[in-house]
Amino acid sequence: MSRFLMRLLINAVALYVAIRIVPGIHPQTTGWLAILILALIFGVTNAFFGPLLKFLTCPLILLTLGLFTLLINTFLFWLSGRIGDIFGVGFTVDNFWSAFLGSLVVSIVSVALSLFLNENHRSKPRSKR
């Protein structure tokens, strides 16, 4: 359960950063509870649709040497915002490039936080029970 909460918080921070710095992304609400709900929607969307889309577009991913995954991530970012709109916590995206930059920011922040938090978690000595 701790790993799930850590992933949820990382996604929440990454989405918050993307919403704040990328022009063309307009949130419905900016409260932290809304961002946490949006992060949950983002995680579920990526967990269910991400592998399916990557499987279905495997030839394109191989043909473009993996660059097509950027378009899949862009679509999943946009889809998360649209699903969030249904629950009143989503965001709207003005155009493709805003969604593309938003998905890149989310990916970069998420990887950086995961590496940073994983490194801090490893350096702590484990207590014996």
pLDDT for 129 equals 57
First to last CA, the chain: 20
Written as six digits, the tokens of 44 are: 């579920």
Q: Is the pLDDT of residue 47 over 70?
A: yes
- Residue 122 pLDDT grade (very low, low, confident, very high; cuts 50, 70, 90): low
Condensed to tens digits (0 to 9), the pLDDT of residues 65-89 reads 999 999 999 999 999 999 999 999 9
Mean pLDDT within 39-50? 95
What CA–CA distance (Å, rounded) separates 77 from 63? 23
DSSP 125: P
Give the pLDDT score at 49.
96
The pLDDT value given to residue 77: 96
Return the structure tokens found at 62.
């191989």
Q: Is the pLDDT of residue 50 over 90?
A: yes
Q: Which residues pair with 91 in a beta bridge?
A: 27
Task: Quickly list DSSP for 38-88.
Answer: HHHHHHHHHHHHHHHHHHHTHHHHHHTTTTHHHHHHHHHHHHHHHHHHHHT
**Is the confidence at residue 123, as pLDDT, over 70?**
no
pTM (global) more than 0.75: yes
Task: Answer left, alpha or beta for residue 88, where phi above 0 means left and psi between -120 and 50 means alpha.
Answer: left
Q: Are 105 and 17 in contact (CB under 8 A)?
A: yes
121: pLDDT strictly greater than 80: no
Radius of gyration in angstroms for the set of CA atoms belonging to the chain, rounded to a whole number: 16
Which residue do the tokens 């918080």 mark? Answer: 9
